[in-house]
Structure formats: structure tokens, C-alpha cells
Structure 1
Amino acid sequence: MKLKPRDADRALSQPDGSYRIYLIYGPDLGMVRERADTLSKALVKDPDDPFAVTRLTDDDVKADPAALADALAALSMTGDPRLVRVRLSGDSAPVARLLTEVDDGLTPSEATLVIESGDLRKTSKLRKAAEDGKRSLAAPCYADNARDLIGLAEEMFRAENLSLDPDARAMLAPFLEGDRALARSEIEKLILYKGLAAQRGGDAAQITRQDIADISAVGSEAAMDQILDPALGGDVRAADAAYARGLSAGLNPVGVLRGLQRRIDQFDTFHTGGGDAGALARAGAPRFGPPADQFKRSARLWTGRRLDQARKYAFDAERAVKRSGAPAEALVGDLILRLSRAAANARR
């Protein structure tokens, strides 16, 4: 079945159980990831449980053609629902054939299958198999317009008892340009800049044009790049020194964490988009000169499972910042060391 874009959020956040295969695809890779995560949370108790969720990539499917079928056929050890998540860079004839076989009952499936992919044409074998299947659902993800992005921002602001100054609305829309994940990252940076509701004692606050200008200041971005570039490029000493300088200059460690998460998402968008100049633009990365060269060098170090591991490191650090009593400075510093060491190993 083919979903209309406007119905995707509702259908994926509240799946009715009649579908065993979900294809979530489109040019907005941040939205693809977000909707796949939302669906996963609705389908299994713990989407991070390796016994409940099997994750495969393009490389896994190409290296072992039977890997996906084996993952789908595996029985649950606990009796709870199982999920198989596959992240593809584009169309895949082998996966499309498997979808048809599962839909026709020719290939056994004990798990629900969630496929993430980039933009797919109407003639795509994968898209056609999902749209034509009786037990499969295809959900397109197209870029949000300015109204959607402002609506997303205001929803997140309200959750922290923040409001948006009317004069700041027009300034905020271009500030959020990019895919859904990048927009959400920028919104979270604004929220952190103003302080969480709990940090403000529940008091209401308003986001102004000056707040947006402060967050997007060139100096702040340059200081952040001095940390992110060596951290994700494999220069352990430079990353550690730049982080120490940033803290001394008043840089928020949670802001550094968000910066690392955003850069990891940009790498993913760049790779999934084909790794060309157009992919740089879609990722919101520098497109010219030394900054673009630096981005591409670092991106080459973070692919496949290594990129997934980087995202898990960042997620674990974020969870620790929110739940533990340890200082954010130390937790983010440890994350920087782990990432920079992993990148250094990838360079060897």
C-alpha cells in the first residue's frame, strides 16, 4: 500500500498491525530516520535491545544475500515481537524480490521488516514491491516546508515552556533549512541555549531574534569546528586540546554533543545521497575549499557499522548526561576521546 505524505506520521506512530513490511523512503533522510525510529518504538518494547531488533546495512545485504531472509526467519528468544531494520542507500532488486516472496508467503517471516532508503523513483523495484504488496506499506518522506518547520519548532518549544517572539518567526525558518534531523538539532540548540524548563524552575521564556543570532554566530561555529574536525578526523590530541579551550571560553558541553550528533547525521546524509556535490548540499555541509575537503576526509572514516557505532556512542552520552549525576563536561569529553580514537584506527 502507498501512503500519502500527510498520513505518514499518524500511520507510523500508531501502526495497526496489519502490515509486516514497511518501506520508509525519500529525499529527506532525517525524516526517514525519525519516522523509522518512531515506528520501531511502536512495534517493540525496546528498540535498542539487540535480541529484539536486528540491524542490517547495504553492505551486509551485499556481502551475504541470505542475511536478510535469515534475520526475518529467526524466532524470538523471549516470545516478544521482533523487528528487522535495514538501511539502504537506494533501490535494491534483491530486497524487492524478498519483499514479494514474504508478501506471497513463499519466504517465512517471524519479524516485522522496516526498510529505510533514500529517494526512490516510481519505477524503483523496491518501491513498487512495497506499494503493490498486500502486507507492506510504503511511506514517502519529502522535505518540510517553512510552515512545517516552524510548527515543529513551536511544538518542541512548548514542551519546555518556551514561546517564539513573532519578530523571530521569519528569521527562524531559513535557520532550520535542511532535513528534519538537522532542523531538529538546530531547534534543540536553541532550547539548550535558553535552558530547559527544569533548569529555569518552570518559568516561561521567549526566544528572540537575538537568541537566534547568538546561536548562529560565526565565532561559535568556528569554535565548534575546531573540536568536531579533529574529533571525527582522528586527531586525538588536537580534539582534546580544542575541547579544553572551548570549555574555558564558555562553550556548552551539551552544545558540543549536539554538534557531534549533527555532524554524524551529516555524514550519513552525505553517504546516502551519493557522496557528490549535491550530497554535500543536502547534508548542509561546506561545499567548497578546505572546509569541504576536511568534511569529505572525515566522512570517509565513518561508514557502515562504524557510523552506526558513532551514533550509538553519542546516544549513550546523551542518555548519561540526562540521567546520571556525572558532569556533562566529563561525559562529552569521554565521547570525544572515543570518537577520535575510533577515527584514528580507521585511518590506519
Structure 2
Amino acid sequence: MKLIKCSTLFVVLICLSQSQWIVARSVTKVQPDARFISRIHSPLDCTQFNNDYEILSSFSFVTHLNPIFPSTSQTHGLMDSNENVYNLNIANQKFVPITVFCLKSLKNLYIRNTSFYEFELDDNSIRSLPSEIELLASSLRYLRVHDTAVAHLPKQIGKLKNLQGFLLSKTGLLDLPNSIGNLSSLTSLDMPFNKLTSLPTTLGNLRSLISITLNSNPQLRSVQSLNGLPNLQTLNTSNCPIERIPSNLPKLNVLNMSNNNLTDLVNIRTLGNDTPMPKIFHFSKNRIHSLPPQIGYVRNLVELDLSHNKLASLPSDILNITTLCYLDIRNNVFSGTDLPKLVTMFNTTNPKLILQY
């Protein structure tokens, strides 16, 4: 009888120990939140390095300096005569070393297909650009990240007051912090092929912006935060479900809103009204059902794409645009009798016009 009790107790103890091992094993697999990963390692101490050579030596990969044939698909750096690295391209590595932010003279940082964290994370939506980016506040001019998971930007991004070009492409970016409105030197903002759902109103503070690319953000429905940008010249929002065109962009001369969700072009006369530069406006593959008379007052309009919409008629004002060189009205709903008449009218008023119908 005692033997049976002991055997039973032994089995119970084994089961308990196995269950504890399973629990412990599952706990070790819990993924840390990337927004707090920077706190797992020791605070970055850049004083441990005497020069940029030592910083590069801390990387887990070789960085070729001043290569004869530099390539964006290969990791390399450019060093000046003072032995300061001013350009760094990290491509196809396992992770970006945190010590990269100790390169105090770095002006251009390009990251391609390389994680910002050495930790394996199942959920890319919690990955963030490291807050240590602020250490490059005085030097960094261009930051470009391709094919690398960056779902969020830290508020410290707003400290990069000298940043002129900022690109995040195919990173899974979900949002932009309000602090991005502090990038007073920014002239180019490119966030294509991401997951943005909205834009912060603080983008309206970026008075130096010349170019914005937001194409292929399939959940972005509005760009009204951009209204009033005084120097914006180029805007690309193709392949986004945007429902209204922006307004009060006096310097705009290139606008691509193809494959959006537009139904009209109200306020189009407020686009590029303060510059004589030729205007190129593309609105193909929308749901535009009417064109406002304002179209006749767009200054120096040379190219207009209205193909693949729901237009059944055009305002007479469009016949007065003598600067128009190219007009595409294919795949609309003009009647079989109206379309030939339109063609004849355009041939009469603007014989040099290339008309696609």
C-alpha cells in the first residue's frame, strides 16, 4: 500500500515539474514591446568611442568606406578628410547597431531591409524607430528607410531640426507623431506604400515642404492637413481612398490623385494660383461626376487627366484654357452624340491640344 502511494506521489511530482517547465518556457517566449526595447539594453554611451573608426568597429558587420563603386544594395560609408563618416548606407543586414547614432557628423542615413532591433518580434506593428535618433539632431540631413519594419516614430523625431529629406517606404508605418511638425527644415516628405490612416494637423507647420509623396496608403482618406502649405509644389497621393482634393496650395504645380475616391474637384482654382509654373494634374480612376467651372481659372494648366471617371459633360470654361496641351477624357460616360461634338469644339478652340477620348 505504501509503495502505491509513493508511486502516485512520484508521478504527481513529475507532472508538476513538467507543467512548470512548460509555463516557464512559454514565459520566455513572450515578445517585448519594441517601444521599450531601447530600455532593455544599457543607455547608449557614445563617450566610449574616440573616433568614427571605433564606432564602425562596434558593428556586427563590415562597413566598406569610400568604395569605388558604391551601391544602395550594399553596406558602405563615406568618410571625409577629417575621418568623419557623413554618409552611411546599411543594406540587407540583420539589424542596425544602436551605436550608429554615435556618428556625430552623419548627414545621410539610408537603411534598407535591416531591422532596427536585434530582437525577433512576431508583431511588426509595435516596432518603432529608436528614440536615440535624437542624438543625430544637429547633423542629420536625410533619413531614408526602405523595406524595414517601422510602425511608429518616436516623439524625438521632432528634434531633427536640420532634416531636409525624410523617406519611409514599405515600412508598415501606421501613424505620424505631432512632433513631426517641428521639422522646420524639411523640404521632402515621402511615406509611400505604408498603412497611414490619417495625417497630423501639425504638418501644416512645415512651411519649407516642397514635395510630399503618400501614394499607396490604402487607408488614408484625407489630406486636408496639408491645406495652406505655402511652398508645396508636388503632391502624390495615388492609390489612396482620399475623398477631397486639398486646397490653398499656391505653389502646387504637380498633383497626382489617380485611383483615389474623389467625386468632384471643388477648390481646384486654389491650387498653384500663385505660380506661373506649368500645372500637371492627374485625376484618373476616381468617381468624379462633374467638373467645376473653376477649372478654367487654373493658372497655366498644361496637362489634365480625367480618364476613368463618371463625367457626362464638361463646363464650357475648359474650352478657354489655351495653355492646355494634353487632355485625357477616356472611359467616362459621355453620350454618343456629345462626345463627337466635344472633340470638334476642342479642335476649334485649341487645335494643338492632344486629346485622348
Which of structures 1 and 2 has the larger relative contact order (alpha carbons within 8 angstroms, sep 6+)? 1
Tell me which protein shows more strand as a share of its residues: 2
Tell me which protein shows more helix as a share of its residues: 1
Same fold (TM over 0.5): no
The TM-score, its normalising length taken from structure 2, stands at 0.24
Task: Give the structure with higher Rg (CA).
Answer: 2
The TM-score, its normalising length taken from structure 1, stands at 0.24
